[in-house]
Amino acid sequence: MKVETLPVTQGSYNLKDYEEAYKSFDWKDAEKVFSWAETGKVNMAYEAIDRHAESFRKNKVALFYRDEKRNEKYTFYEMKKWSNRAGNVLKEYGNVEKGDRVFIFMPRSPELYFSVLGAIKLGAIVGPLFEAFMEGAVKDRLEDSEAKVLITTPDLIGRVPVDELPHLKTIFIVGSDVEEAGPFVDFNKKMAEADNDLDIEWVDREDGMILHYTSGSTGRPKGVLHVHNAMIQHYHTARWVLDLQETDIYWCTADPGWVTGTSYGIFGPWLTGTSNVITGGRFKPENWYQTIEDFGITVWYSAPTAFRMLMSAGDELVKKFDLSSLRHILSVGEPLNPEVIRWGMKVFNKRIHDTWWMTETGAHVIANYPCMEIKPGSMGKPFPGIEVAIVDDQGNVLPPNRMGNLAIKKGWPSMMRQIWNNPEKYESYFLPGGWYISGDSAYMDEDGYIWFQGRVDDVIMTSGERVGPFEVESKLLEHPAIAEAGVIGKPDPVRGEIIKAFVALNEGYEPSEELKEEIRQFVKTGLAAHAAPREIEFKDKLPKTRSGKIMRRVLKAWELDLPAGDLSTMED
Ligand code: 6R9
C-alpha cells in the first residue's frame, strides 16, 4: 500500500540533528540544563519561574491571560512574586507542608496558576480538578487523596460536600466579599496582604508534585502521581516536539484539570522560558481564531475534536483572520484523522503534528517532529531515549506491521510513580520484562512510525476527554428508575466518540423521552456534563456474564451491528 507523506515543517532543527540526537540521546546529559545540576536544589516551580525571573527573561511576559472579563499579562518577575504570595498564603492560613495534597477546583484564571506554582514551591502535591466536575466526582477525588486544602470559587463551592470530607481543613475561596468563617478563607484578601518573598522548599527529585485523577475501564478514577523529576522530559519535549524558541508565543488550549493542561499548559512552556497564552471561557471558533490573531500565536497545541469543530465552522471563517503568525501546530488526545490534517494544510498552509502520550506517561512519548515527514494517520515516532514497542500479552516484542499492545520500557523520566493509595493497580500496568502496557493497541511500520488502532479496554474518549464507563454506570445506578446500566463509546464524526448508555428499568417505571432527559440531567449534575450520556436506550435486560458483569462488548456489537464474538460466559 502506498502511504501518503507530507513534507517537513521548517522547524528550528533539521532531520540530521534529530537523527543524531536519536542515536546519542542520553537522559543524564539532558539534566544539565537545570540549575539543580549545579546547585543540587530541586523544585519544578523554581525552574519554571524564579530561574527566569533572575535572568535576562525577568521582564519577558510569562503569562498572557484573557477571558470575557479579564485581559492581563504577567512577566516572569511578576509570576515569581505572585506565586510566592500564593505559597505564603497557603502556608500561613492552610498550614501547607511538603507532601500535603492541595486541590484546585476552579475555572482558568491567573489565580489558578499562582496557586499551582505556589503550592509546588512548598513541596505540596497539587490536584487540579476540572471545573465541570459535579459533587460526586469532586468528593471521590478529595476523599481518595485525603486533600487537606482546597482552592475554589463561590460558584463551585456548592459542589464540595465539605461536611463529608474530614481531611479537608482549609478552603480558600477566590472571589469578592468572601465571608471568612470555619474552614473558609478569602484568598484574594490574603494575597493582597502577603509577602513577596518565600523560602522555597527544596525537594528530592522523586518527591510528589502533581496528582491527576483519570479513568480506567474498571473501578473508581485513580490518582496518577507525578514527581519533580518529570521536568526533565517536560523540558526536552517542549524543546523538540513543541519546538519552543525564545520568541515564540505559545497557546495550549487544554484545561489544567487534564494532564495536557499542566504538562504542556504550565511546565513545558515555562521550563523553557516561553510566553504562554491562557484563555478562559467557552469554545467559539471566532474567538479561537481571534486569539491566534491578537496574540500572534506561533505554536498552537490543541485536540482533534477542536480541529473538527473548527473545520465544521467552515473555511470562509478562517479567511476573516490573519493567522500568518502560526508556524507550528500540534494535536493530542484522540486519533487525528488524515482528513483534518489535509484541512489544516488547506486553511493554515501548515501541517498538524500528532503527539501521543497519556496521563500515566506524564509527557510526550510518540510524536511527529517538525523535521520529519508525516504519514497522515500515524502518531509519529518515539521520543529519543524512550523505548517503545508493540508487544503481545506476554510481553514479547512483535515484528513490524503486527498489531498488539502499545508498550513503553519502564524508566522514562516523567513516568508516573504511584497510583495513589493503590499499589496493586500500579503494578497491574507492567508486564515482566519491564514493559508498561498503555491500554492502546497499535502497530509499528517498517520505518518506525506508529499507527493507533484503538483502546484495548472500554475506556471512552469523548471530545478528547477520558471517561471511564464504570463511573458513569455507577452514577446511573443511583437513579431510582434504573436497575441495570451499561455504557459504551459510540463512534461520532466530531467528538470521536459519544457516550451511549443502555439501561434496564426497575418495576414501576416506563421508558419515555422525559425519563431519558431526567437521567441525562442526573448524570450531568451528579458527575459532570461531559460524562452524561448523549444517547440512552432502554432494554428489558442487559447482557451479563454469569458472574454478573455487564458485557460492554456485546452492547457495542449491538450498537455497531457487528458479530458479538464469544458468548460462552454470558448468562442465559
Ligand atoms: C494526553 C492524554 C490517554 C489516551 C491514550 C489514547 C488516547 C492520546 C492520542 C490518542 C490516538 C493520539 N490518545 N493521544 N489516541 N492518537 N495522538 O490525552 O492523556 O487523557 O490520559 O488519555 O488518549 O487512547 O491512551 P489521557
Q: How many domains does the chain have?
A: 2
Nearest-atom number in ligand 1 for the CA of 438 is: 25
| Ligand 1 center from residue 302 Cα (angstroms) | 12
| 529 found inside a domain | yes
Q: Which residue stretches of 47-182 are H helix?
A: 51-53, 76-94, 110-121, 135-145
- pLDDT at site 570: 67
Mutational pocket test of ligand 1: of 334, 353, 374, the residue with most ligand atoms within 8 Å of the beta carbon: 334
How far is the centre of ligand 1, averaged over its atoms, from the C-alpha of 426 (Å)? 19
| Atom of ligand 1 minimally distant from the CA of 452 | 11
What pLDDT is recorded for position 550? 82
Pocket test for ligand 1, best of 242, 365, 461 (most atoms within 8 A of CB): 461
Cβ distance 139 to 103 under 8 Å?
no
Say if residue 127 is in the same domain as residue 61. yes
Best mutation site among 211, 356, 451 for ligand 1 pocket (most ligand atoms within 8 Å of CB):
356
Q: How remote is the CA of residue 106 from the centroid of ligand 1, in Å?
A: 24
Give the residue from 442, 475, 504 where a domain finishes. 442
Distance 500 CA to ligand 1 centre (A): 20
End of a domain among 442, 470, 493? 442
Whether residue 177 lies inside any domain: the answer is yes
Determine how many CB atoms are found less than 10 A away from the CB of residue 183. 16
Query: What's the pLDDT at 504?
Result: 93
**Nearest atom (ligand 1) to Cα of 379:** 17
The distance from CA 119 to its chain's CA centroid, rounded to whole angstroms, is 19
Phi-psi category of residue 511: left, alpha or beta, with phi > 0 → left and psi -120 to 50 → alpha: beta
User: Which DSSP letter does residue 487 get?
Assistant: E
Coil vs helix vs strand at 18:
helix
Do both 145 and 219 map to the same domain? yes
Residues 437 and 465 in one domain: no
CA 355 / ligand 1 centre spacing (Å): 9
Question: Which atom of ligand 1 lies closest to the CA of 459?
Answer: 24
Q: Verify that 304 and 340 share a domain, yes or no.
A: yes
Domain end, chosen from 379, 410, 442, is at: 442
User: What is the structure's pLDDT at 566?
Assistant: 65
CA of 456 relative to ligand 1 center, distance in Å: 13
User: What's the domain range around 237?
Assistant: 22-442
The whole-number pLDDT of residue 137 equals 92
Instruction: Compute, in angstroms, the gap from residue 303 CA to the centroid of ligand 1.
Output: 10
In the structure grid, which three cell numbers stand for residue 273, read together? Answer: 522560558
User: What is the residue with the minimal CA distance to atom 26 of ligand 1?
Assistant: 358
**CB contact at 8 A, 251 and 435:** no
C-alpha 149/C-alpha 137 separation (Å) is: 17
Q: Do the domain assignments include residue 449?
A: no
Q: What is the pLDDT of residue 569?
A: 62
Amino acid at 325: S
Q: Which residues line ligand 1 (CB under 6 A)?
A: 214, 258-260, 332-336, 354-359, 379, 438-440, 452, 455, 461, 466
- CA 371 to ligand 1 centroid distance, Å: 23
438 within 8 A of 405, measured Cβ to Cβ: yes
Residue 347 placed within a domain: yes
353 with 492, same domain: the answer is no
Please tell me whether residues 63 and 114 are part of one structural domain. yes
Provide the CATH number for the domain around residue 419: 3.40.50.12780
Ligand 1 centre from 465 Cα, in Å?
9
Q: For residue 466, give the ligand 1 atom closest to its CA.
A: 20
534 touches 568 (CB < 8 A): no
Contact 304, 493 (CB under 8 A): no
Distance 462 CA to ligand 1 centre (A): 11
In a domain, 9, yes or no: no
Q: Which pLDDT tens digits describe the chain residue by residue (572 residues)?
A: 455 666 666 677 777 777 777 778 889 999 999 999 999 999 999 999 999 999 999 999 999 999 999 999 999 999 999 999 999 999 999 999 999 999 999 999 999 999 999 999 999 999 999 999 999 999 999 999 999 999 999 999 999 999 999 999 999 999 998 999 999 999 999 999 999 999 999 999 999 999 999 987 667 889 999 999 999 999 999 999 999 999 999 999 999 999 999 999 999 999 999 999 999 988 899 999 999 999 999 999 999 989 989 998 999 999 999 999 999 999 999 889 898 999 999 999 999 999 999 999 999 999 999 988 999 999 999 999 999 999 999 999 999 999 899 999 999 999 999 999 999 999 999 998 899 999 999 999 999 999 998 888 888 999 888 898 888 998 998 999 998 899 999 999 999 999 999 999 998 999 999 999 999 999 999 999 999 999 999 999 898 876 667 888 899 998 988 877 766 666 65
With H, G, I as helix, E, B as strand and everything else as coil, classify residue 64.
strand
Q: Say how far apart CA 286 and CA 306 lie, in whole Å.
A: 13
Strands 184-186 and 170-173: parallel
In a domain, 4, yes or no: no
CATH number at residue 532: 3.30.300.30
User: Which amino acid residue places its CA nearest to atom 16 of ligand 1?
Assistant: 335
Q: Is residue 540 part of a domain?
A: yes
Which residue among 452, 456, 530 has the greatest number of ligand 1 atoms within 8 angstroms of its CB, and so is best to mutate?
452
DSSP 312-381: HT-HHHHHTS--TT--EEEE-SS---HHHHHHHHHHTSSPEEEEE--TTT-S--EE--TTS-B-TT--BE
Per-residue pLDDT, 564: 73
Give the residue, by CA position, lying nearest to ligand 1 atom 3. Answer: 358
| Best residue for ligand 1 mutational test, from 357, 364, 459 (most atoms within 8 Å of Cβ) | 357
- Cα-flanking dihedrals φ and ψ of residue 158, to 5°? -60, -20
In the reported structure, the alpha carbon of residue 306 is separated from the centroid of ligand 1 by a whole-number distance in angstroms of 15
Q: Which residue minimizes the CA distance to atom 8 of ligand 1? A: 333
- Shared domain check, 469 and 411: no
**What gap in Å lies between CA 288 and CA 454, rounded to an integer?**
30
- Residue 412: its pLDDT value, please? 98
Q: What is the pLDDT of residue 1?
A: 43
Query: Is residue 480 a part of any domain in this protein?
Result: yes
Q: How far apart are CA 334 and CA 309, in angstroms?
A: 14
Q: Is the domain of 485 the same as that of 556?
A: yes
Measure the CA–CA gap between 9 and 61, rounded to whole angstroms. Answer: 27
- In angstroms, rounded to a whole number, what is the distance separating the alpha carbons of residues 333 and 377? 14
Asked if residue 55 and residue 110 are part of one domain, the reply reads yes
Residue whose CA is closest, atom 4 of ligand 1?
A: 358
**Rounded to whole angstroms, how far apart are CA atoms 71 and 230?**
31
- Taking the C-alpha atoms of residue 85 and residue 74, their distance in angstroms, rounded to an integer, is 14
Residue 7: per-residue pLDDT:
66
Would you say 409 and 419 are in contact if contact means Cβ atoms under 8 Å apart?
A: no
The model's pTM: 0.90
Dihedral sign computed on CA atoms, order 223, 63, 122, 31: positive
Domain identity same for 464 and 324: no
**Whether residue 486 sits in one domain with residue 426:** no
Do 432 and 485 lie in one domain? The reply is no
